[in-house]
């Protein structure tokens, strides 16, 4: 398994917002998270990533975690070109990234690679973040409202690229307010408005 949790309760300062949840997301599968604002989607993702401590329950991860955030400007270094943003995971891993191929797969024009985040749109920057995931190729991918700020065309490109990573063997958890999108793309859907169990 790539990521799983058992009887997981998440929240803030010991105040529960979601759970208990038991789920296993296997390699090549997509788990969708839906629910109203405040239902705990982001908190659950942060807990699965190891950034938040659970109130109770356990989380198991079998590999590195890649995150696709709702607001790419919050996670992209404004002093780096898109090319450097995309290639950074490979540099850390001691390998050479095929940035051009990753950018093309993510729908990002090659001419934009030498621009800085402040010189591109939110959609273009989000595509650069997707290309970074493609370079990183992590076994676990957590997506927090990745298309909330994008137009339909950009949204389609981002979701298709994430699906490509899933087909290649990544376990994907996709949180979104777009219930139709989640239900259409996910193998399993968890509604955080209720306690859920799924495999």
pLDDT at 101 over 50: yes
Which pLDDT does position 85 carry in this prediction?
96
Overall average pLDDT of the 38-46 stretch: 91
Average of per-residue pLDDT across 187-194: 86
Residue burial 36-72, b: 16+ Cβ < 10 Å; e: rest: eeebbbbbbbbbbbeebebbebebebeeebbbbbbeb
Mean pLDDT of 39-53: 92
Residues 158-170 have pLDDT tens digits of 888 888 889 999 9
Tell me the residue range of the domain where 119 lies: 3-198
Q: Tell me, what CATH number does 163's domain have?
A: 3.40.50.300
* pLDDT score for 65: 93
pLDDT at 190: 93
* Residue 26: per-residue pLDDT: 94
Pairing relation of β-strands 15-25 and 3-12? Answer: antiparallel
Pick from 16, 15, 13, 5: which is nearest to 48 by CA? 5
Least confident of 2-11, 33-42, 76-85, 151-160: 151-160
Q: Which residues contact 3 (CB under 8 A, 6 or more apart)?
A: 24, 25, 48, 59, 60, 61, 62, 65, 140, 171, 173
**Average pLDDT of the chain?**
89
pTM: 0.87
| Domains contained in the chain, number | 1
């Amino acid at each position: 398994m790539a990521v799983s949790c058992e009887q997981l309760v998440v929240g803030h300062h010991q105040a529960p917002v979601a759970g208990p949840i038991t789920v296993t997301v296997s390699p090549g599968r997509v788990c969708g998270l839906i629910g109203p604002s405040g239902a705990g989607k982001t908190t659950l993702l942060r807990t699965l990533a190891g950034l938040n401590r659970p109130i109770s329950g356990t989380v198991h991860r079998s590999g590195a975690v890649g995150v696709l955030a709702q607001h790419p400007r919050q996670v992209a270094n404004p002093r780096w070109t898109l090319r450097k943003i995309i290639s950074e995971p490979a540099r850390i891993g001691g390998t050479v990234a095929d940035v051009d191929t990753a950018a093309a797969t993510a729908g990002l024009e090659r001419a934009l690679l030498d621009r800085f985040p402040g010189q591109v749109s939110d959609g273009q920057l989000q595509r650069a973040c997707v290309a970074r995931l493609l370079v990183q190729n992590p076994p676990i991918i957590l997506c927090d409202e990745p298309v909330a700020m994008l137009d339909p065309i950009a949204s389609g490109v981002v979701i298709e690229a994430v699906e490509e990573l899933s087909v290649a063997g990544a376990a994907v958890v996709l949180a979104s307010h777009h219930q139709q999108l989640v239900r259409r793309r996910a193998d399993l859907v968890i509604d955080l408005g209720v306690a859920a169990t799924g495999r």
